[in-house]
Structure 1
């Protein structure tokens, strides 16, 4: 079974889609796919579908959705050459829940986690060429927001937030690797878009400030800091962190050779205004 969730939901068996069109069965499949090869408790599935107040018929209705998914899987299995598995072997009933077996198939989440992990280890080893390449390959797996075409309940909303945070972390680290390789001018367009999308994300703003300054655009770098500070104070009641204030002072006093260590990654907390 091949699973894609980093964008639109797509689940295939023998190359044939087993993704339902109805909203609630899609939710069930999405949650099972995110936790492929692990037992998903029935309580999670019912919370995803109905929140904290499931109807009396919730268990029976959930079983109906599972049956619908198995019917789709059965059709795909029937087209497989010498296929000996049944749909119940793929979507398995377990004590207290269900398990979706991939049987060695692909998962874009797993591939993303593998590649980004290699990228992080390369960053730790200061192998910035490898880090940039591995993290770029990881990010290419994303075709849009996670599960963009699935109606999300509490469980999926939590998983989507987690996935988007891992994406943002990998993106930040890939940009950091590129900065270490002196690619500051090539990053300006991308960072312009990112700081407008993430108006209070300190690390991205710090990277943009550094890229601008190293490109000889010191005044614009300081303007980026001021806009970020205004957004933080207005929206969150916070001052920029110590690391970002240090970066601003360095830009005020240093030349374009400003060292990368002045970026605010992992530095301290935002300061509360007042």
Structure 2
């Protein structure tokens, strides 16, 4: 069974893409579902298999999408998504299901793996707004207000009706009546089956990782955090940030990505991988000079690597940056960690507890 490969401009064949991904060391990720099936992801492609996601396809170049030049699908396979809820199980058939990706440029995909072509910017914005309210009716007036940022034109109601009809045809070209976008009293509703949006899968992995971390299962926590991060293809929802609600959503998603990245650094420190992550932490701290958490992690990794002087220098750089830019000193937790390092008080569990306490303080 050929994998679904989603890749950037210039990668012409699935084989070349997969080879490059292996050479660059993209993580291979597995998600176990309620039925014991699995869904695999990498940061540059999606690999979907098992009874949850079934398809057979080849690769072709697809020139009609602004962000993505490779789509998959010379032959469409059959697929069924089995969504299990606490109340009942429902089966969503391929012709009524769409997969959505928002952790990067917006994508809508058929179950076979083909990227749905012909979605104009307004179409993508409209779908993204529905994904903010999945399976919930959204009133026409609310949609108009959101899509035009509170300043609708006189033609906005007519344009919205046109966009809805066009999106329906894009999502279900053979029979728009089978589209997951439904008309309800006063507005519209987008049917979104469980597991069909990458942001929801990201949240699932992140939650499982934090549960495992809190239970001391650091190996499984690291695996879950890596799974979550591998879903990302760039900043969330680029090109849509001029729509207020989508801008706020994109910023929340980006912040969640930062937090999970730092959660992964924490568990790798707990696993004793300080030598391996020093370089990555130094780069991460430089990219985010005002975030204290990665600087604490870097100080700890340097100290445990026998580089206490460099750890102290890292603290001094952070302090100068905070004073110069914000006029504030580092937080008490960061100062306490620096003092522990200077005095050589390094029981690993104590320092990890200190980092975790500082993290909880920042969140509150």
TM-score by length of 1: 0.86
Equivalent-residue separation in structure 2 for 1:257 and 1:129 (angstroms): 21
* Runs of 5+ unmatched residues, structure 1: 79-84, 270-274
- CA spacing shift, 1:39–1:216, aligned 2, 3 Å: farther
Flag the 1:266–1:234 CA change in 2: closer, same or farther, 3 A.
same
Give distance in 1, aligned partners of 2:142 and 2:285. Answer: 35
- Does 2:258 match 1:161? no
- State the partner residue of 1:260: 352
> What secondary structure, in the 3-state scheme, does the structure 2 residue paired with 1:11 have?
strand
Alpha-carbon shift at residue 23 of structure 1 (Å): 2.1
Q: Within 5 A, what are the aligned runs for 1:14-29?
A: 14-15=111-112, 16-18=114-116, 20-29=118-127
Offset, 1:196: 1.3
Give how far 1:32 is off.
1.9
Q: How does 1:1-274 map to 2 (within 5 A)?
A: 1-15=98-112, 16-18=114-116, 20-75=118-173, 78=174, 86-87=176-177, 89-103=179-193, 106-150=196-240, 152-254=242-344, 258=348, 259-263=351-355, 264-267=358-361
CA shift in 2, pair 1:268/1:66, >3 Å = closer
Q: Give ranges in structure 2 of 5+ residues lacking alignment.
A: 1-97
Cα deviation code 1:58-112 (max 9, x no counterpart): 222122111111121232xx2xxxxxx7446410123343222134562211111
- Which structure dedicates a bigger proportion of its chain to helix? 1
SS at match of 2:264: helix
RMSD of the TM alignment (CA)? 2.3
Q: Identify the structure with bigger relative contact order (alpha carbons < 8 Å, sequence gap 6+).
A: 1
- Which stretch of structure 1 is more off in the superposition, 227-236 or 86-95? 86-95
2:249 & 2:194 partners in 1: Cα distance?
23
CA distance in 2, matches of 1:68, 1:134: 38
1:214–1:257 contact (8 Å) kept in structure 2: no
Q: How many residues are aligned here?
A: 262
Question: By how many angstroms is 1:124 displaced?
Answer: 1.3
Corresponding position of 2:93:
none
Instruction: Please list the CA deviations of residues 208-257 of structure 1 after superposition, one character each: whole Å capped at 9, or x if unmatched.
Output: 11111111111111121111112222222221111001011111111665
> Cα offset for 1:5?
0.8
Distance 1:53 1:35 in 2: 21
Aligned 8 A contact 1:123 1:177 in 2: yes
Does the 8 Å CA contact 1:115/1:138 hold for their aligned counterparts? yes
Q: Residue 119 of structure 1 contacts residue 131 of structure 1 at CA under 8 Å; is this kept in 2?
A: yes
